[in-house]
């Protein structure tokens, strides 16, 4: 049987495709060379800005400036690059720029591969000097003593609520909130075992257990649950024991050479934790800011209503109100409040001063760029 196609037609088409591929790759190489040149040029300019900051005794981290850049680039991005990927790329560029200006030491609740560690890398990219701490108190202490320029701590989860220990430490600390990030939390079951049926004990942080309660009850109701200080410590303890598993992040699986034997074992897919960046200096206004306060009212009828009434009169938006027992008096409560706006805004400043006169105690925790809740 003969074909009507010319015997060399296929070869000619393949050759044409090869030429087209080579041309496209050549154009990509040229763009890559240009990107490399432009990134290095940007870093050199950042280094000069760092020298100016040093002469003026300015802060290396400018979360307001970084927020403004990301807002501008996201609004101009026409794709196909997703804004999520754009944010990750520029987080690394920002981090490298700061390292060229002055190395940044960042303490976080460790060990490596905790969700707090992942949040720290969302703040600083992979260029910072990350220092693991064994407790949230140690993170605060490291920054207060100057051992780290910044600290990263969890403050609330969309399912479990406030991280009370973090809130309590603000009562005693003079550190300020410099920025915030929201991180999607996805828990995996990690082990050297081949299947879920081999597991006899599971290690994890108490909050992770709470967030996976229904899944554990359904699939592993008889398994022993052992609490750890962090999900990363849980992953460490599961290494080498085929009867053990850990509930932790997929990143922990990579770092500690564990297999993922069950993915996304959390009970709710919309599981988000808010993390705070704490430091000794404040962030300047961006126009999209949040101000955090803590205060104590008198133990009398209507005291809280009176303290909050200036917010309503000023037309400000209160985005969070949390109460904690006062550490100094039984049946007295300390309130944590977040307002939209910066303390430099006249309306915010006047409102806070009016509230101060109605409270037994008030403490300003910082103003900082407001993060989007739909996060990477």
Residues 141-154: pLDDT tens digits?
999 999 999 999 99
State the Cα–Cα distance between residues 350 and 354, nearest whole angstrom. 6
pLDDT for 1: 47
Tokens describing residue 244: 């053990």
The CATH H-level (homologous superfamily) assignment of domain 188-262 is Periplasmic binding protein-like II (3.40.190.10)
Tokens of 223: 């398994």
Helix axes 9-55, 83-101, angle to 10 degrees: 40
The CATH number that domain 282-369 falls under is: 3.30.70.260
Contacts (Cβ under 8 Å, ≥6 apart) of 243: 193, 198, 199, 200, 201
- Res 19: pLDDT: 63
pLDDT at 376: 45
The span from the CA of 237 to the CA of 258, in Å, is: 11
Tokens coding 290: 């949040």
Question: Crossing angle of helices 83-101/115-124, nearest 10°?
Answer: 80
User: Measured over all CA atoms, what is the biggest interatomic distance in the chain, rounded to whole angstroms?
Assistant: 100
My answer on whether omega of the bond before 111 falls inside 30° of 0, hence cis, is yes
**pLDDT for residue 182:** 93
d(CA 27, CA 75): 27
299: nearest Cα among 335, 253, 271, 267: 335
Give me the pLDDT at residue 62, please.
75
Q: Are 258 and 302 in contact (CB under 8 A)?
A: no
Q: What pLDDT was estimated at residue 83?
A: 87
Is 282-369 the same fold as 188-262? no
Q: What's the whole-model pTM score?
A: 0.77
The label of the residue with tokens 């202490």 reads 141
Q: pLDDT of 169-196, one tens digit each?
A: 998 899 999 999 999 888 999 999 988 9
Structure tokens at 155: 């403050």
DSSP letters spanning 334-376: EEEEEEES-TTSHHHHHHHHHHHTT-SEEEEEEEEEPPPSS--
Contact 209, 216 (CB under 8 A): yes
Nearest to 333 by CA among 292, 365, 298, 293: 298
What CATH number belongs to 25-93? Answer: 1.20.59.10
> CA 309, 313, 314, 317: dihedral to nearest 10 degrees?
60
- Coil, strand or helix at 50: helix
Are the C-beta atoms of residues 199 and 243 closer than 8 Å to each other? Answer: yes
User: Across-strand partners of 221?
Assistant: none
Q: Where are the domains of the chain?
A: 25-93, 103-180, 188-262, 282-369
Enumerate residue ranges in the chain where pLDDT < 70. 1-16, 18-19, 57-60, 327-331, 373-376
252 contact partners, CB below 8 Å, separation of at least 6: 113, 114, 190, 231, 232, 235, 246, 258
pLDDT at position 236: 92
Q: Are 187 and 264 in contact (CB under 8 A)?
A: yes
Q: Which CATH class is domain 103-180?
A: alpha beta
**What whole-number distance in Å separates Cα of residue 304 and Cα of residue 302?**
6
């Amino acid at each position: 049987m003969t074909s009507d196609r010319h015997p060399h037609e296929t070869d000619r088409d393949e050759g044409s495709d090869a030429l087209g591929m080579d041309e496209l790759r050549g154009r990509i190489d040229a763009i890559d060379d240009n990107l490399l040149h432009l990134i290095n040029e940007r870093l050199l300019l950042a280094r000069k800005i760092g020298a100016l900051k040093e002469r003026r005794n300015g802060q290396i981290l400018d979360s307001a400036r970084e927020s403004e850049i990301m807002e501008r680039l996201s609004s101009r991005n026409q794709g196909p690059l997703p804004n999520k990927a754009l944010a990750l790329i520029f987080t690394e560029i920002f981090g490298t720029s700061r390292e060229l200006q002055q190395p940044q030491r960042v303490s976080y609740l460790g060990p490596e591969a905790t969700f707090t560690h992942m949040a720290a890398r969302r703040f600083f990219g992979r260029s910072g000097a990350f220092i693991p701490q064994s407790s949230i108190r140690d993170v605060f202490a490291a920054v207060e003593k100057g051992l780290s320029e910044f600290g990263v701590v969890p403050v609330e989860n969309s399912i479990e609520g406030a991280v009370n220990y973090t809130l309590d430490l603000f009562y005693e600390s003079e550190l300020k909130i410099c920025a915030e990030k929201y991180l999607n939390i996805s828990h995996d079951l990690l082990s050297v075992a081949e299947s879920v049926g081999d597991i006899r004990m599971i290690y994890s942080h108490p909050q992770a257990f709470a967030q996976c309660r229904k899944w554990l009850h359904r699939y592993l109701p008889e398994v022993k649950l052992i609490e750890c200080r962090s999900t990363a410590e849980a992953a460490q303890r599961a290494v080498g024991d085929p009867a053990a598993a850990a509930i932790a992040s997929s990143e922990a699986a990579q770092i500690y050479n564990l297999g993922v034997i069950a993915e996304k074992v959390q009970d709710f897919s919309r599981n988000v934790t808010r993390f705070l960046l704490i430091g000794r200096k404040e962030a300047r206004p961006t126009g999209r800011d949040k101000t955090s306060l803590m205060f104590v009212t008198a133990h009398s009828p209507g005291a809280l209503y009176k303290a909050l009434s200036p917010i309503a009169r000023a037309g400000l938006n209160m985005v969070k109100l949390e109460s904690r027992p006062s550490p100094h008096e039984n049946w007295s409560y300390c309130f944590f409040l977040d307002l939209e706006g910066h303390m430099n805004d006249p309306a915010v400043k006047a409102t806070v001063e009016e509230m101060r006169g109605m409270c037994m105690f008030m403490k300003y925790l910082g103003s900082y760029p407001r993060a989007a809740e739909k996060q990477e």
